[in-house]
Each structure stands twice: as structure tokens, then as C-alpha cells.
Structure 1
């Protein structure tokens, strides 16, 4: 059986398929894996530990040494994603109903989905439509993987009085410490970075399954359509914002639009946030499903949107990427 090849053909398959499989199992046979010892610790209760290890491995891939145009592009991409996601998230908090949702979306899902980008998809797109500085920009853009910038937005909203419950310093550090440890190891030793890189992808289906064991099928039904809406908003709001900001800087606008996606590992962000502050735990299950739906939606839609933008530019006589290649 070609299990991995099949999962690879499905957008976000390594994350979404195990999560939905576990959610289905949890709905119809919730006690099947809740038999104690290693089985339950790995497949049911292990999401926190697995996510922590995943964050450490991810942190090791972040290269803090970056200069010049690539640094400027990476910082611009990072800021654009965060500002757009934070603003839409703030609007969601301001207009959320009594159930804590806005247009059926959990605000924490909006921030998690819109401030994280799919690094593999970005690199693939700029590999075709960008130059080396666009590709190198990802070393800084990778900082938006995981819960850090989502936590920053929520902490700011708390200080402004829009969100109940601020993070304690200890809780904040306890979530970030695995990332920091990974960054230190990866930047001190290139071989350690390569070694830990294997864990970044290997752990995804396992913590996705454990997360799924906390979701029932009703939550998937309730979150699916709204999650697709979240994916559409991520592509057309963050992607389009990146397009026009890069165009204003006279950089390749296609590279700017290529960050309009949701990272597969953003599915773990709501759970990580809830671990740091229990006040955000109410809609974690729904938010997790919505982010997963956004991951799939953006993985499918963003390449189509990029193709549309490239065609429009070429119709205007702009050659992509030739007219924007930095020698």
C-alpha cells in the first residue's frame, strides 16, 4: 500500500487525514483507544508532548542569520501576515456573539490561520515565480510557524481590554521555550539542525491524530464550511495584501501573494494557546477544525490564485519572474 504517496497527494494530507480519522473514531468509538498505558498516552493524551517536540524541531530550522534584500522581504511578509490576521481577529473579538463566534468563526482560529503561512507552498511557488532572494526570505518568514505571533496578538488584545485573560510570564515562556531551545541547537550546529528537521515532518500525523481524539464529528460538521470561509479570507486578504505591498516596494508581487496560505502546523496553535491560558479553551475543538479546513482550502486555492495573478501581469507585458530578478 502506498499510504504516504496517497497522503502527499491530498493538500495538507499528513495533518488533515489523521485528524479527521481520529475525530471520526472518537465520535463513534470514543473508548477504543482509551485503554491506558502507552496506547492512550500516544494516541489520545499525547498531543501536548508531541506538539512541544514538534515546536522544538521546527525552531531548529529557523536560521537567525539573514541579511540584505532577503531580510527585508522576509520581514515584510512576516509583518503583512501578522497585521492582516491580527486586525481581522480583533474585529472578530469585537463583534463576536454570546457563543464567542463571529460569522461562525472562532477568533482564535482566524488569528492562528491568517498569521501562519504554509512554508512548503510558499517555497514551491517562489521557486517557480521568484528569485533566490524571494526563496531566502522564508528563513525569516518561518518565524510565523507555530503559536508565537498568535500569542503576541492575543496578549496585545488583552492589554487593550478586548480579550479576557492575559498570559502569565511563566505560561508564555513555557510554550515558547521548546522553540527557543530548537533555535539555539539549530544555529549552533548545522548537523543538529538537519537531524531535528526529520522530526518536523515525522511528528505531524501523530500529534494530528491525538488532537483529533479530542474532536467529535459534530464539531467537524459545524466547523467545515466556516473553515472554508476562513481559507478564502486567508488567500484573498493576506495574499492580496502581500501582492500590493511587494508591488509598492517594486519587488516581485507574486512572491508577496505567495504567503496567502495557512500552515499545516497551525492546526496545533489553538491547543498551544489554550495550554498557555485556559480562558481560550472554550472553542479550541472548533478552532482546530476550522484551521484544518483553512489549511486544505488555501493549499488548493492559492496556486490557482497565483496563476491568475501571473496571467494578469503577463497580459500587461510584465514577465514573471524575469522583470523582478535581482542579479
Structure 2
């Protein structure tokens, strides 16, 4: 059986197939792999560790001369995600008539939270499949939008709430950056280490994708309803397409720009965090939470397919060599 060959024919297959398999098992048999010890550690709780190891391996492939490019790409992704996602969220906020209103069933805080936060694991997996080591390392900057920080910044600009302290920890940022930095150092002091660690990156993708899936339930889509699904589609289209074109303008691989078009799992906690800071958002906090959860699942499924579709179009139009940028 040529399982791997079949999986690779699916857009984003090495990411999306294990992720969907994990989500399916978690939905219909959530306790099947939660039996403790090595099984649960690897297949259920292992996503963060496996992603960290992936980032270390990816960091080892970065040439010291090209680190500035990684920062530029990460900063571009972060800025575009916030500006366009936040602007759309602000539009819904005003159309809904404020924090307690709804527009077409969508809670404004859910829209802003889903639009301004991206799934780092999904980005890393797509960058691993379609990009270079520079693209993978850009995650160290993009990771700054994990949590409620950029949602709070958007609301602060709107004048809805004041910017609160304690939502962004420099220690947490260093915690994301450190594995990449360690790999970066190892890869640049020894070419043999760079070669050795380079073999690990691609192998890790399906494993952490499955573990991510084991923490997603299709029930979240049902609970969040049609508005939550629509929100997920809008996240992919608005922030994915704007990311695509921003990278295209800079003559970088546009597929990596599109790879930011997702909502991270930790964004599910954002409405509650915002409601704690401002009681104005407490009214719709439960509805907003399930809508963000639906967006998380929807984007996790849709984004790899969307990026795979874009990759096929580029390959058909210009040739496979244009899918990635050259590495130094």
C-alpha cells in the first residue's frame, strides 16, 4: 500500500489527514487514546513538545546570513493579520451596534478574537510543507498574536476598552523563540549537526498534526452553529488572501502568507479573558466562545485545503520551482 503517496495527493495532506483523523477519533471515541503513559503523551498531549522539536530542527536550517529575512516575514504576517483581521472585526463591531449586539448572528468579540489570532501549529506545518527554513522561523514573531493581546489592541483602538496589562508575557515569547534559537546555533556551528537535524523536521509534521486533531472536536462546529462556520470561512478568506498578496508584493512565497489564515485553539479562551477585563463583553461571552471554537475547527480543516489549492494553481501556471523561495 502506498499510503504516503496517496496522502500527499491531497492538498496539505501530510498535515490535514492526520489532523482530521485525530479530530474524528476525538469526536467519536475521545477516550480511545487517553489511556496514559507513552500513548497519551505522544498522540494526545504531544503537540507542544513535537512542535517545539520541529522548530528546533527548522531553526538549525537557518543560515546566519538570512535571519533578518525570517524576522521580516514574521513581522509582515503579524501586521497584516492584525490590520485586516482587526479592521473586519471593527466593522462587525459597529454593524452590531456595540459589544452586546449581534450582526448576522455573530458576536463582535468572537470575530475580533478569531481574526487576530492564528494557529501556530498549522502555520508551522504548512511552512514545513511549502516553505523554507526562513518561513518556519518566522513563527517566532507570528507567535506574538497567541492569546488576547491583539484582540485587546483592536478594542483599545476602537475605544471599547482600555489596553490591559498582563496579556502578553515576554517570558512566553522567549519560550517560543528559544527552541528555534538553539537549533539556529547548533546548525551554524556545525554543518553535520545541520544535516542531522534537518532530517527531523518533515517527519514530525504528521505526528503533531494528529496530536492537534486529538484536541479538536467536530461537535464544536455543531455547537457554534452556522455563524461560527461562516466566521471560520471568513478568517481563511480575509486573512489568508491578504497574507497571500502581502507576501506576493514582497516577492516572497505567497503560500506562506496565506498560511496565517487560521484561528488558534487558545483563541477560544479570549472572549472570557476580555469579559474579565470589561464587563461590556460578558453578555455574549458564551456565544462568542462557541463561535470561536467553531472557527478553530473550520480553519484547521479549510486552510490546508485552501493553501493546497493555491499551490496547485501556482504550479500549473508557473511551474513547481515557484512554490518556494530560494534559501541561502
The superposition leaves residues 284-321 of structure 1 with CA deviations (integer Å, 9 ceiling, x where unpaired) of 11110000000000111111111110111011123256
For residues 277 and 145 of structure 2, what CA distance do their matches in structure 1 show?
A: 18
Equivalence for 2:88: 88
2:132 is matched with which residue?
131
User: Alpha carbons of 1:277 and 1:237: their partners in 2 closer, same or farther (altered >3 Å)?
Assistant: same
Alignment: residue pair count: 248
**Structure 1 gap segments, 5+ residues each:** 19-53, 192-203, 210-216
Q: Shift of residue 325 of structure 1?
A: 2.1
Partner Cα distance (1:256, 1:12) in 2: 31
Asked if 1:233 corresponds to 2:219, the answer is no
Equivalent position of 2:325 in the other structure? 324
Trace 1:125-204 onto structure 2 (pairs within 5 A).
125-158=126-159, 163=160, 166-167=161-162, 172-176=164-168, 179-183=169-173
1:127–1:320 Cα change, 3 Å:
farther
Give the distance between the partners of 1:82 and 1:186, measured in 2 at CA: 20
Does the CA-based 8 Å contact 1:146-1:265 persist in structure 2? Answer: yes
CA distance in 2, matches of 1:241, 1:11: 31
Q: CA deviation at 1:182?
A: 3.6
Whether the aligned pair in 1 keeps the contact of 2:107 and 2:284 (CA below 8 Å) is yes
Would you say the 8 A contact 1:129–1:321 is kept in 2? no
Identify the residue that residue 36 of structure 2 maps to in structure 1.
none
**Corresponding position: 1:299 with 2:292:** no
What is the distance in 2 between the residues matched to 1:119 and 1:239? 14
Equivalent in the alignment of 2:23: 10
Q: Is the 8 A contact 2:265 2:293 kept in 1?
A: yes
Q: Is the 8 A contact 2:96 2:102 kept in 1?
A: yes
Aligned to 2:196: none
1:308 matched to 2:295? The reply is no
Question: How far 1:275 moved relative to its partner?
Answer: 1.4
For structure 2, the residue ranges without an aligned partner over 5 or more in a row are: 1-17, 32-47, 60-65, 183-211
8 Å Cα contact 1:129/1:320 also seen in 2: no
Counterpart-to-counterpart distance in 1, 2:128 and 2:172: 27
TM-fit CA distance, 1:136: 0.5
* Aligned partners of 1:223 and 1:286 also within 8 Å: yes
CA distance in 2, matches of 1:146, 1:83: 16
Q: Given the superposition, is the C-alpha separation of residues 282 and 133 from structure 1 closer, same or farther in structure 2, using an over 3 Å criterion?
A: same
Q: Deviations over 1:140-182 (max 9, x none)?
A: 0000100001000001101xxxx3xx33x6xx11444xx2444
CA shift, 1:6, in A, is 9.7
Q: How many Å separate the matches in 2 of 1:119 and 1:183?
A: 13
Task: Measure how far apart 1:242 and its partner are.
Answer: 0.6
- Counterpart position of 2:116: 115
Q: What secondary structure, in the 3-state scheme, does the structure 2 residue paired with 1:290 have?
A: helix
Secondary structure of the 1:146 match is coil
Q: How does 1:26-37 map to 2 (within 5 A)?
A: none
The one-character-per-residue Cα deviations of 1:196-254 (angstroms, maximum 9, x if unpaired) are xxxxxxxx99x999xxxxxxx9x986732100000000011110111111011100000
Partner of 1:276: 277
How much has 1:8 moved relative to structure 2?
6.7
Instruction: Normalising by structure 2, report the TM-score.
Output: 0.66
CA distance in 2, matches of 1:185, 1:244: 30
